[in-house]
């Protein structure tokens, strides 16, 4: 999830020398570039935004997302950490820093970040789902199933959480429970190919 600020890419302000100086516009243009797949261009714009406003937490967060998408996990974690330093209640930054830590194999660090994200936003279905991933990777299938259940409670149409819970149930030796969850995932998203495939395996 990218975060915009109250400026538009077309609204770049200029100083007396004719140089653009509006940090928010660079941040938002970075979002547009990232959405178009131009991660290097997005990172350059976020960096420029931060040169203009070193306390723009959203630009650190967004640059962290772009770096993670590029596989630059240490750089992503550093940017999320800086965003959190600037805004200690930045739940999404904790959540995405957890994702980067999980990508690196630091499951305990990831779970700690998801815990903090959930403390800040107790109804964050995505954070529960992500924590479920990490718990599953650690072999805590019961904990994973509980977290996927919380994600579904707060977002009853969360197809990925149903599919993930189905995976955990199947790993626990509960194919019927898994099939029920895969079926619900398909009802929520009829084009969810992975859910069809996993339901086929469970059957």
The candidate with the shortest Cα–Cα distance to 189, out of 166, 161, 168, is: 161
pLDDT of the residue at 2: 55
Q: Between 17 and 146, where is the model more confident?
A: 146
Burial class (CB in 10 A: 0-12, 13-18, 19+), 169: buried
How far is C-alpha 174 from the chain's CA centre?
29
Q: Is the pLDDT of residue 199 over 70?
A: yes
Burial (CB count within 10 angstroms: exposed 0-12, middle 13-18, buried 19+), residue 89: exposed
How do the residues of the chain divide into helix, strand and coil, expressed in percent and rounded to 5?
A: 75, 0, 25
pLDDT tens column, 65-110? 999 999 999 999 999 999 999 999 999 999 999 999 999 999 999 9
Q: Which domains can be identified in the chain, with CATH numbers?
A: 1-90 (1.25.40.10)
| Residue 50 near residue 81, CB atoms below 8 Å | no
CA 170 vs CA 93, 97, 142, 173, 175: distances in Å: 32, 29, 12, 5, 5
CB count within 10 Å of CB 18 equals: 6
Structure tokens at 53: 């406003």
Q: Residues 27-59: pLDDT tens digits?
A: 999 999 999 999 999 999 999 999 999 999 999
Helix (H, G, I), strand (E, B) or coil at 190: coil
125 pLDDT more than 80: yes
């Amino acid at each position: 999830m990218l975060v915009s600020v109250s400026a538009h890419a077309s609204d770049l302000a200029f100083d007396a020398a004719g140089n653009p100086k509006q940090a928010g516009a660079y941040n938002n243009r970075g979002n547009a570039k990232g959405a178009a797949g131009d991660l290097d261009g997005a990172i350059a714009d976020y960096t420029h935004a931060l040169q203009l406003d070193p306390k723009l937490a959203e630009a650190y967060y967004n640059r962290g997302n772009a770096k993670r998408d590029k596989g630059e996990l240490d750089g992503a974690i550093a940017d999320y950490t800086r965003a959190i330093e600037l805004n200690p209640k930045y739940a999404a930054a904790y959540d995405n820093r957890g994702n980067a830590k999980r990508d690196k194999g630091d499951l305990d660090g990831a779970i700690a970040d998801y815990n903090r994200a959930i403390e800040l936003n107790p109804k964050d279905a995505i954070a529960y789902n992500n924590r479920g991933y990490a718990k599953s990777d650690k072999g805590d299938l019961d904990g994973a199933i509980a977290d996927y259940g919380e994600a579904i409670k707060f977002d009853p149409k969360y197809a990925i959480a149903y599919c993930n819970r189905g995976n955990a149930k199947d790993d626990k030796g509960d194919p019927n429970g898994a099939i029920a969850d895969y079926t619900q995932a398909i009802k929520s998203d009829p084009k969810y190919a992975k859910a069809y495939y996993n339901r086929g395996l469970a059957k």
